[in-house]
Structure 1
């Protein structure tokens, strides 16, 4: 005989049995370990030990630490420099296109021009992706190295107007 409730289809006899609650186990209920700054965990499980900071906050290894304001501003400035470098390579390369036709054919010149224009963008993207787990100073050092290496020499030597 039916009881007349809609919940009968979603229930089984014996759902209230307390022996069926197995729980998560003692290992999952144990608190995660964290050490204050200046201490280093060594041995098995040391990669799972977090850090207790001076303000009392705890950072676990799985958590990502957000970048600071100075790092964000520096990355923004360097990103702008790389954008200006790409524009400088484009302007400088286009200024040289008609003046130096005897060096390489037009197809080779166009290919090298667009590689030169994309080089700052590719450098910035590559450094940004490959240094996600590194410290911020490592990322900034690689970006500053790119600023020195990728200077748009055609724009610097000839300029936008030319001689």
Structure 2
């Protein structure tokens, strides 16, 4: 057991050869393990160029530059912007309210629809209409994955315009 007070600030395997980093109150770089072609692990410091395995060096003809080597930071997807995140939350709430509106409006429309349809013919379509906003939101979300944000926004706004719960508007609290 050592009596060094800085032991709590180091990971196992860190080299204590950087006393200037501890003096400047800057944490030392965390090593990142990579597996080479032979199965052995070698540590590489974050921020330095990636190590090139012999297989990769042979594939590139022996010459590798820093531009040819991809790093892990380049593979991370870009995050959703704050405005888009707020819009998705609001439009998701609108779709949820539309689903509730279809249920309430459908139950209020049932006495009038029973003149033409029996219950076993009416209820499956009412529940499908209630699920339509949820299905539209899920389909728009999945089908616009990897595309521009404006395409997803247009698909969600078009669904909100098409899926207005008309039974609720006509016979619900609004129309009563």
Map of 2:143 onto structure 1 = 130
1:6-53 superposed Cα distances (whole Å, 9 cap, x missing partner): xxxxxxxxxxxxxx89x61324954346xxxxxxxxxxxxxx9xxxxx
Could you list the per-position Cα deviations for residues 78-120 of structure 1 after superposition, in whole angstroms to 9, with x for gaps in the alignment?
A: 0000000000000000001122202222112110010000000
Alignment of 1:12-161 (within 5 A): 24-25=53-54, 26=57, 27=60, 30-32=65-67, 60=74, 62-160=75-173
* Matched-pair contact (CA < 8 Å) for 1:86–1:119: yes
RMSD: 3.1
* TM-score after normalising by structure 1: 0.65
The separation in 2 between residues aligned to 1:135 and 1:151, in whole angstroms, is 26
Contact 1:95–1:162, Cα closer than 8 Å, also in 2: no
- Helix, strand or coil: the match of 1:156? helix
* Cα separation, 2, equivalents of 1:138 and 1:152: 24
Which structure 2 residue ranges, 5 or more long, are not aligned?
1-37, 40-51
**Unpaired runs of at least 5, structure 1:** 1-19, 34-47, 49-58
| Contact 2:168–2:174, Cα closer than 8 Å, also in 1 | no
Normalised to the residue count of structure 2, the TM-score between the two structures is 0.60
Secondary structure (helix, strand or coil) at the match of 1:134 reads: coil
Report how far residue 64 of structure 1 moved. Answer: 1.2
Count of residues in correspondence between the two structures: 122
Deviation sequence 1:43-85 (CA, Å, 0-9, x none): xxxxx9xxxxxxxxxx74x431110000000000000000000
Report the secondary structure of 1:104's partner residue: coil
